[in-house]
Amino acid sequence: MGFFASVEGTATIRAHARSFVAAFVRRIETGLLPHAPRWRCQYRVTHQGADGLRFRATDWWTAINVGLNEVELAVAPGGRVHYAIQYWRWAGYALVLSGAIGVALIAAFLVFDIRDYIVRHPRSSIPGLSTEQNVAIGWVMALFWGFAWPWILIALHRRPLRRLMNQIVAEVDAAAMQ
């Protein structure tokens, strides 16, 4: 899951590497995501060098907030910042939550005879489909939302993480230039 729940990108900065890294560390210490509640935005620097740093979410509330679980930034000559984000804790939360929903739906279908329910409550079925087709759709939905959707969600989460990191890098770069 670690490789699947990761994203990399590159951004351009104007500040010198040392200034950028120092400004990024200050941003982490004062709140990486300024509009998030402090209890959902707790990160700590795990390594700091002259031309890069690594930081991570300190707790589960922070890890599931936006998915910046483990982040590594490296400033290259020429004002390029390469970042690598691993969001395996965020992905794990998505898998567990969706799996619990899937198991609950399957248990409900087994405990409460879904076929009998559809027969007794015809308004709960999709018009034009047979009872068996409605039952099959219910099972497919339970399996999809419980066990396929989280993998799709994990893959779709790359783009928002890349956008967020590019925004943070731009804001830190502007602060480092002051």
- The verdict on residue 1 lying in a domain is no
149: confidence class by pLDDT, cuts 50, 70, 90: very high
Residues 59 and 104 in one domain: no
Residues 44 and 96 in one domain: no
Residues 78 and 161 in one domain: yes
Instruction: State yes or no: pLDDT of 99 exceeds 70.
Output: yes
2 versus 57: the higher-pLDDT residue is 57
Whether 139 and 147 have beta carbons less than 8 Å apart is answered as no
Q: How many CB atoms lie within 10 A of CB 87?
A: 28
Q: Which two tokens stand for residue 150?
A: 């989280």
Residues 27 and 96 in one domain: no
Residues 124 and 140 in one domain: yes
Q: Residue 86 burial by CB count (10 A; 0-12/13-18/19+): exposed, middle or buried?
A: buried
- The verdict on residue 133 lying in a domain is yes
- The verdict on residue 128 lying in a domain is yes
Query: How many domains is the chain partitioned into structurally?
Result: 2
Tell me, rounded to whole angstroms, the distance of Cα 19 from its chain centroid.
29
- The verdict on residue 31 lying in a domain is yes
**Structural domain range at position 98:** 91-153
Q: How far apart are CA 135 and CA 161, in angstroms?
A: 38
Q: CA Rg, the chain, in Å?
A: 22
Q: How far apart are CA 70 and CA 88, in angstroms?
A: 9
What is the reported pLDDT for 2? 57
What is the reported pLDDT for 38? 87
Residues 63 and 125 in one domain: no
3 versus 26: the higher-pLDDT residue is 26
Question: The domain that contains 45 carries what CATH number?
Answer: 3.30.310
Residues 43 and 63 in one domain: yes
pLDDT tens across 29-87, in order?
999 998 888 889 999 999 999 999 999 999 999 999 999 999 999 999 999 999 999 99
Closest alpha carbon to 105 in 135, 126, 78: 135
Q: How many CB atoms lie within 10 A of CB 47?
A: 10
Q: How far apart are CA 34 and CA 122, in angstroms?
A: 51
- The verdict on residue 39 lying in a domain is yes
Q: How far apart are CA 108 and CA 93, in angstroms?
A: 22
Residues 75 and 161 in one domain: yes
Whether 99 and 150 have beta carbons less than 8 Å apart is answered as yes
Share of the chain above pLDDT 70, in %: 99
Residues 51 and 101 in one domain: no
124: confidence class by pLDDT, cuts 50, 70, 90: confident
